[in-house]
Amino acid sequence: MDIRETFEKLDKQFTSYGGLDPRGITRLLYSEEWRQAVDALKEIFEENGLEVSSDAVGNVSGRLIGSEKPEETIMSGSHIDTVVEGGHLDGQFGILSALIATLYLKEKYGQPKRTLEVLSIAEEEGSRFPYTFWGVKNFFNLQNNDDVKDITDGEGIKFVDAMRESGFDFRTDDKVRDDIKAFIEVHIEQGQILEKEEKKIGVVTGIVGQKRYTINLKGEANHAGTTPMGYRKDAVVAFTEIAQTLVTKAREIGDPLVVTFGSVKPVPGVVNVVPGEVEFSVDTRHIDEKELNDFAKTVESTINEVAEKYGMTADINLWMEQEPALMDEGIVNMIEESAEKVVGDSYKVMPSGAGHDSQIFSNYMPTGMLFVPSIGGISHNVEEETDIEDLVKGIEVLAETLYKLAY
């Protein structure tokens, strides 16, 4: 099998399901484009002798049954959905990598000792409906069906109606599979580190934990011309000091700690009024739980100190906490050995700054991830791209790892 040729053919085919002109994909959960991709994947599984199955909500897999331990499964895959106006690699590359690696191993070595399974996860992005990880949450019976029963997409279509129109429904059993002995996900980095450091492969040690806040900082709105600088309770000025202080502290602590102020809304937000209120967000992430918790305390204390300094009040709402998800040490070492065999020393052991399905898998089974570079670090964008040779190397490293696990 020519891995490059096979990938280019499959990538072109699957990019057409929701494909945009001149590039990119919009393929949302339970849409017509999503159904086309899922159906095409089933056909390819069948044509290549893989045993096809799908669950209640649309997770689909193809299995190459093992000869000696068929009841033990080595799984690889990713999510089939995309963001709106996304690229052709986020999620899709992980599924196609798993498929190509499995077919390559089958052609070269025959039947594996353990079962190899290619998994297409129904949804991860939360792009159509305000709910993320629907596919993998159902895989482990973690979903809360009540959370989706009344939600709708941007056109007012109910989640439940879209699901049932696609031929799926809520799961009725609570059994969780116990046959999976390892899960490996391949993904584009979605960042610039590998490209900047000229590395071909990222060996992922874990997925960072996150804390997200919404802060309402209240000062006093007043006339922009008649209020002297010394008399003001300018919420934007206070916010600026908070942001600058926390960015400085984060840089002093160093990578991989990050802090982001992605949403800033001054009130009243007009040119001739001193802003008396600011609502802003804080997103902070780290791979080490203690470091994350320590910086979160710094975030809260800094906000309170600055608010007190300017005679303001601060309402701090911590609305999202996600612990770091560490990859299995044995799997990490195995991927590193495979990377060294394929690309020599052109790999980097690193954390993932973005969330992935693997973070949930890692709670239930030995899990590993590997990255390929993203050109310009661009992702969730139609311009998302990776050099074809890097994509091929990623598939080769995956194949080598699956060989170690299944053969």
Residue positions forming the annotated binding site? 79, 90, 125, 187, 212, 272, 285, 380
Cβ–Cβ under 8 Å, residues 302 and 308: no
Pairing verdict, β 60-64 and 114-121: antiparallel
* Residue 364 DSSP SS3: coil
Structure tokens at 187: 């993904």
| Dihedral sign of CA atoms 294, 295, 300, 301 in order | positive
DSSP 20-38: -SSS-B---TTSHHHHHHH
Question: 293 in the Ramachandran plot: left (φ > 0), alpha (ψ -120 to 50) or beta?
Answer: alpha
Query: Measured between alpha carbons, how far is residue 229 from residues 223, 224, 226, 233 in Å?
Result: 11, 9, 9, 9
Q: List binding-site positions for allantoate.
A: 212, 272, 285
Of 189, 207, 367, the C-alpha closest to 285 is 207
C-alpha–C-alpha distance, residues 217 and 276, integer Å: 8
Of 96, 197, 188, 133, the C-alpha closest to 325 is 133
Q: List binding-site positions for Zn(2+).
A: 79, 90, 125, 187, 380
Cβ–Cβ under 8 Å, residues 232 and 222: yes
Helix (H) or strand (E) holding 102: helix 92-109
DSSP 63-93: EE--SSEEEEEEEEEEE----TTB-SSTTHH
Structure tokens at 301: 């204390």
Cα-flanking dihedrals φ and ψ of residue 186, to 5°?
A: -105, 140
Cβ–Cβ under 8 Å, residues 356 and 368: no
Residue 327 DSSP class = P
C-alpha–C-alpha distance, residues 124 and 80, integer Å: 8
